[in-house]
Structure formats: C-alpha cells, structure tokens
Amino acid sequence: MPKAWRIENFEFLIPAFTPAERSAPCRNRLAGETAPEPCAIPASACKGQLNRGRVTPKVTPPDITLRSSMTALRLTTLHTTQAVLDAFRDSDVPAQVLLEGSGIQLADLELPNSLINISQEMRVFSNAVQFRQDLGLVLGRNLHISAYGMFGLTLLTSATLREGWSLALRYPLLLGTFFRLDLEVRDGLAWLTADQYSESELEVFNTDFCMSSYRVTCQDLLGCSLPLRQVQLMHGPQPYMDSYEQAFNCPVQFNAGRNAIGFDLEWLDRRLPLADLVTQNDMLQRCIRLNEELSARPTWIDQVRRILNEQLHAVPDFDSLARQVHCSPSTLRRRLRAQDTSYQQLLDELRYARAQQLLGQHSLPIYRIAEALGFKETASFRHAFQRWSGVAPGASASWPASSGRSRTAPKIDAKYPLLTVASILSATYPTKNVRLGWFRSFRTWSCHMKSLHTALSRLATACTLGALALAASVTAQAAPERTVNIFNWSEYIAPNTIKDFQAQSGIKVKYDIFESNEVLEAKLLTGNSGYDVVVPSSGFVSKQISAGAFQPLDRGQLPNWKNLDPAVMKLLEQSDPGNRYVIPYMWGTNLIGYNRDKVQELLGSDAPVNSWDLVFKEENLKKLSQCGVTFLDSPTEMLPLALHYLGLDPNSQNPEDYRKAEAMLLKLRPYVRYFHSAKWTGDIANGNICVAVGYSGGFLQAANRANEAKNGVHIEMRIPKEGTLVWIDTVAIPAGAKHVDTAHAFLNYLMEPKVIASISNYVGYPNGVTDSKPFIQQSLLDNPDLFPSAETMTRLYPLAPLPAKAERTRTRTWVKVTSGR
C-alpha cells in the first residue's frame, strides 16, 4: 500500500509546480526564498549504479503527465521520498538527481512536518526508476506499518487480521493508495486485491510497491511471517524476476486479470498479538477526524465530474462513485453538500451538456441519445430534458450545435425579476454548469454582440416588469421569510417532495441528512439541535421523549391526521403512549437479501433462503463466506434478531439471554465479512457480497441498481418464516424548534396520500398513511416482502424501550461480537 503517511498539525507546505515551472527558479515556501536552478549533473557522474534492474542513466527523465485531479493534488509527507533516497544511499546516484524537477530541496527533508503533493512525489519516483527498475518491490518490502502513524497503531490494535483490513479499506485516504483496495474470499483463499489504478504513469512501479507492501503490512499485524500461496499481477514479466521471488516467495502469475496476493483463510481470523479495543477506539476517532480533514479539500470535485462524465452511458450508482473516489458514501455526500451540489445535480449538469452536443448531431435519433446518457427508457430522457431546458428534446434538435439557446422566449415572472434576468441570459448563453448559469461565462459574451443585443432587449422587458412588481410591494410591509429546517436520513425522500412543498406553501426549506440514529440523538439531547423537523426511529423515540427531546404535536394544525393508519399508530404507542409526539413516516422489516445464483451454487437449490438458518447456522454461513456475508452494525437490531432466533425475548432485559446471543454470534463472527448498516446496499448490487442482513427497501434499491447496470446479479429478499423485527421511522418536532408553525405545515403535507405515496415509490418502503395505496406502484404492493400479508404481520415484532442497565448490557455485548472477543 504505497503512498501517503500523514500526521496532524502540519505547519509547512511545499508548493506544487507545473511542468513549465519545473525548469524555472522556484520559490520554496519553506525557506521563503528563491531556490537555485535545478542542477545538471552529467551522465558520467552517475556511474556504478545498483546491479539490480540497472538501466542506462538519464539525468532528465521523460516528463510524466500528471492529471489535475484529487490524486495529483493530494498531500503527503516526505516519508516515501526519504525512503527513495535511502535506497540509493550506497550508490553513486546523487540525491539532487533523484529530486530534480520536484521542487524539493535536500534541506526540506530535515523538516519533519513538511508536506508535498502527489505530483512532486511522483516526479521523484519517475527519476528514481530510471536507475533501479525494481524500486517498487524494494520500497514495499521496507514499508512497515509504523509508516502510517496513528492509523498504523489503530490497525495494530485490531482484534483480527480481517478486522484490521476491513478498517484499513474503510479509510483509503489514510493509506494514500493509487488503487481501489479490497479483501475477498475466493477459491478457498483470502485475497487482497488492488485495481482501478488512478494515474496514467508508473503503473508497474506502483503495482509492485503496493503488492509487496501488502505482505509486509500483514506480517506486521500478525507479528510473524505470512506465507503466500500465489501473487497475481496485471502487468507482464519484468527484467528483475528474481526480485519477485525475494518479495513474495511464491508463484507469481503475470498478465493476470487483477492484482492480488492470496493466502490461507485461517490467517484472516487469527487474533493479533497487539489487539486492544480501548486503544483502538481512541485512535480510531482521531483517524476519522484526520480522514475528514483530508477529504475536505475541494479539488476532488473535478475528479467526481470526470468519473461521471466518462461513464454517462452506464452511470455508476452513488456507492460505486464513492468507491471510485476512495471515500465512503456518507463522506462523499457530505463533501458534495459542502460544495453546494449533489450527486443528482452533477449528473444532471453533465447529462444536459452532453445532450446538447448530441442533439446538434442531426443524424442521431432520440433513443440513441437516451442510451448514450444512460437512460433505460427514452421517455425518461424526454422528461429529464424537459425539466432541464423547458423544451422537449425533439424541439431542441434543430438548435445549432454551438448554441444551446431555447427557441421559445422565456416566461417572465415579475415576482422574481433577478431570477428572470438570469433565466433569460442562461437561455441565451448556456454553460456546462447549468446551476451557475451566466455568472461564470460573462467575460465570453463580449464576442457575441449581436446575440447580446437580443438578450438586452429581453432584459429591459424583465427589468420593467420587475420594477412594477417592486413598486407595488414597497407600499406593503414585507412579510418575514417563512422557513423550516429538516433533518432526515440520506436517500430517504422523493426528489420532488421538497420542491413541491416549497412551491405549494411558500416556505423555504433547509434540508440536511444524517446516517444513524446515534448521530440524530446526539443533536437532540443537546436541547438545541437547530432543526424543526427530525426523523427518529421508533426504537429510540421512547428514551428521547423521556429526555424531553420533542414537543407535543398540535393536532389542530394537522388536519391530515385522519389519514394515518390506525394499525401503525397502535404499534407506535409502544414508544409514544397516546401518540402525542410523533407521526409515522416509513416502516419496514429487517430481512435477508441474497444473490440468488451464488447462494444456489454454494448451498444448492434447497438453500433455506426463507429462514434465519441461512445466516445463523454456522455450517451455512461458513460456506457462504466464500462469496461474502454482511451483518448490520446495529446492536438494537442484530441482537433482538439473534435472541428471537434462539427462542428468547427479542426485548430481553436478562443478561444471561445476551450471553447466549453473544456465544452464538461469536461462533459466526469469523465468517462475516463486515458489520455495516449502509455499505451492503452497493456491495450486493455489484456482486461483491452474496448475502446481507438488511432492510427491505435497501434490497429493493439494490435490485434496481443491478438491473439498471445489467451486471447479471439477481437479488432476492425474504422475510424469514420465524418472523423478524419491524421498525417504524417517525417524524417529530424537537423541543427547541424555532419554526413550529412551518414544521407542522410540513408534517401535515407528509400526511397527504399522494405526497407520501411518491416517497414510498422512490425509497421502496411502506408508509403510515391509509389512503396512499392507490398511488403506490403496483409492483411494490404485490411484493409480500415489502407489503407483508396479514398472516406475516402476526410474526413481526417491534423494538420495545429498555431500561438503561439493559441497554448497557446490549451495547457491551455488541462490542464483544464485532471485535471478535
């Protein structure tokens, strides 16, 4: 795993240099003065190179192309640069030659807190491999886990090798790799893989570096030598074949379909000698903060756009996009919000720009353009284009290729004259970034005076109407702006819900998302969450009501209360006696989702897919671990499921019951690939895992993604015959809400049958409004695992609130299970 070794609180930064700047004097930000010209040492001075992988020395290697991307601009320490110089310490290759063109001076290496960017480091690598071709293997063999700083210590204190690598793969930025890394089980072996190389140069070098460091990291974690069974490399044989023998000591397959090292499965679940849960938890929090700091740099947005633009014909889903930019879905979503954009907004912008180009090619029919933009149906493309441009794609097909202007005069809304002006000029001069419109392209308009004259004429009309509207408004006292601040789960509302509510009510919405009930609860219990509407799960509501987190609902402001389903409201009374504080939003079940073909291959056609035996019987789980099984990382869900499977009360308060559940789950722990409450959706859709314990709507979304991708993955789900947990997500108004009236207006809006049905159609979950069914897609209503029958409903059980002591027992039990102790 080559690349970045980062520590917090760096005080200095070495600047990046463009190729043109490399030949000119540079200003070293460390020293604050102009550095001398790069040295020009004759080739004769570089004699007596190392005898391994020797090539003809070159003072100035061919310039490498470094993309302006997140990778090129990412920061790293000088650790690897120093390691390169150390590898040549006993040779006649001067350090200045290795550093040439990078902007790094020898004096900089004496400053321990210095940072460089990846393009500078890649320049050093490019220089060095001219003198030693097997340098990647050499560096990898000397890259010990201590090089990763506090992240290395976090990995060392993991319970098992599997857990250590699961943690490492969760934070690729802290590894600084140029690859997408993964851990999989195949052909009876554990495989650490590295694919999707993100650069255009030095691939062989970085592959060697990554794969050899893989083994060293494993050995550092285990505290002993790790015998490999096989190494697979995508590149061909190299002149230094004996170096591969030294690095891996096993058969090496070149020109393979992937980069991977394979070893016996038993090593994955061997307890690590330095395992320490307390230390790991403490260090992990610091690593998470560091990962967020590194993720916050804005240059990554260019790579997100590039990845989407290159894959418009087969658009990656959100989880896949997150993997391609080496971060978690929640981190990607947060970073997009910080840039005032979203996945869908970027995708719409890029699709619109590409659609305009393709529509200018009159030989292309509309259905071909739809396919090129990744739309499954031509009608979907037509609707999307109408939304983007205000006209149908057929009407726009006659536009000149160089112009995107509308053939119809834009409508003028006197209430919003400034927005209207922007709309007119945007229609006349559209840009690649539809959101920013004419502001970004103003300087280019001077070249289009004739068209500008037309635009100014329209502008004059708009300003006239705007002035009239303004004059009419000054006589009346301006009403204060009505707003509502909403905090909801991610991907848990229809795309049009907020927009339609704002249009209907005139209330401005601020909408934020969270990833877990714990995050929401932490905000609520402060007493000042900053939100007016929140969406807690029923299992947390009772404690939050007792803590005074919510204010009672005013049914006088909720005329749509009559639409709520009495059966769902009765279930909610266990958490909210008298139904005073919350209304139902969506509800669903915990069930099993599986890759039909892989499960049948491993367990046969009579696999118990409709029973918890599939994942709670050790012999089944052991076989299924070959293709990947995941559990939710949630003690409030997984432990009740385990207790019920054992014939115990799922809401037990008896410590002895939890010890029994713990013993069962610890036996299963070695065969669970990871515990996570969100990642499984993308992984099962992509075929990376074959079985997951998850949520009904999540499996539906995964199945839809797999169908859209046409990747041959067939996902099915079942409510187990033994019964399962039913949960209800609710909507409430926090005690500290500042916009109570607008909050009630939004809750009342959610209780309209058509509104809540559109959300159910999007997220794939049933809702709590009785009369919404006529507006829900029939394919969802016909799915008994989404809308259970009356008989199945009798086998569902809700979470009940537990006293604090029982909650602590449950939490401690889960920590032991997930840590493998």
Report yes or no on 214 lying in a domain: no
Report yes or no on 599 lying in a domain: yes
Confidence (pLDDT) at 618: 95
Same domain, yes or no, for 595 and 661? yes
Same domain, yes or no, for 428 and 534? no
Please tell me the total count of domains within the chain. Answer: 4
Report yes or no on 673 lying in a domain: yes
In terms of Cα–Cα distance, which of 3, 80, 107, 98 is closest to 41? 98
> Distance between CA atoms of 254 and 245, rounded to whole angstroms?
13
> Distance between CA atoms of 664 and 662, rounded to whole angstroms?
5
Report yes or no on 285 lying in a domain: no
Same domain, yes or no, for 622 and 553? no
Instruction: Tell me which residue range forms the domain holding 121.
Output: 21-135
Q: How confident is the model at residue 502 (pLDDT cuts 50, 70, 90)?
A: very high
What is the average pLDDT across 583-599? 94
| Residue 771 CB neighbours (<10 A) | 15
Please identify, among 416, 447, 474, the residue that sits at the C-terminal boundary of a domain. 474
Confidence (pLDDT) at 340: 64
468's CB contacts (< 8 A; 6+ apart) are 414
In terms of Cα–Cα distance, which of 345, 344, 300 is closest to 326? 300
Residues in a beta bridge with 115: 77
- Return the structure tokens found at 429: 């001069």
Q: How wide is the angle at C-alpha 436 spanned by C-alphas 432 and 441, nearest 5°?
A: 65
Q: How wide is the angle at C-alpha 762 spanned by C-alphas 296 and 593, nearest 5°?
A: 85
Residue 32 DSSP class: T
Q: How confident is the model at residue 363 (pLDDT cuts 50, 70, 90)?
A: low
Confidence (pLDDT) at 394: 66
Same domain, yes or no, for 759 and 687? no
- Return the structure tokens found at 552: 């009672």
Same domain, yes or no, for 347 and 442? yes
Same domain, yes or no, for 733 and 709? no
Q: How confident is the model at residue 559 (pLDDT cuts 50, 70, 90)?
A: very high
Confidence (pLDDT) at 74: 57
> Distance between CA atoms of 709 and 313, rounded to whole angstroms?
10
Confidence (pLDDT) at 75: 63
Is residue 711 a contact partner of residue 508, using CB atoms and an 8 Å limit? no
Same domain, yes or no, for 613 and 694? yes
| Residue 353 CB neighbours (<10 A) | 19
- 60-82: per-residue pLDDT in tens? 333 333 333 334 445 677 778 88
Rounded to the nearest angstrom, the gap between the alpha carbon of residue 260 and the centroid of all alpha carbons in its chain is 24
**CATH at 665:** 3.40.190.10
What is the average pLDDT across 225-251? 92
Task: Give the residue, 635 or 472, on which the prediction is more confident.
Answer: 635
- 95-110: per-residue pLDDT in tens? 888 988 887 888 777 7
Report yes or no on 695 lying in a domain: yes
Same domain, yes or no, for 740 and 662? no
Q: How confident is the model at residue 583 (pLDDT cuts 50, 70, 90)?
A: very high
Please identify, among 440, 474, 508, the residue that sits at the C-terminal boundary of a domain. 474
Report yes or no on 719 lying in a domain: yes
Helical residues (DSSP H) of 311-433, grouped into ranges: 318-324, 329-338, 343-359, 366-372, 378-389, 393-396, 417-428
Report yes or no on 143 lying in a domain: no
Same domain, yes or no, for 433 and 353? yes
User: H or E segment at 584?
Assistant: strand 582-595
> Distance between CA atoms of 357 and 563, rounded to whole angstroms?
48
Q: How confident is the model at residue 416 (pLDDT cuts 50, 70, 90)?
A: very low
Same domain, yes or no, for 113 and 37? yes
Task: Give the residue, 311 or 609, on which the prediction is more confident.
Answer: 609
Same domain, yes or no, for 411 and 502? no
Same domain, yes or no, for 522 and 610? no
Against a cut of 0.75, is the pTM above it?
A: no
| Residue 376 CB neighbours (<10 A) | 12
Report yes or no on 200 lying in a domain: no
In terms of Cα–Cα distance, which of 458, 349, 463, 460 is closest to 410? 458
Three-state secondary structure string covering 178-220: CCEEEEEEECCEEEEEEECCCCCCCHHHHHHHHHHHHHHHHHH
Please identify, among 725, 746, 766, the residue that sits at the C-terminal boundary of a domain. 725
Confidence (pLDDT) at 408: 32
Is residue 417 a contact partner of residue 469, using CB atoms and an 8 Å limit? yes
Rg of the chain over all Cα atoms, to the nearest angstrom: 30
Residue 658 DSSP class: H
Task: Give the residue, 23 or 120, on which the prediction is more confident.
Answer: 120
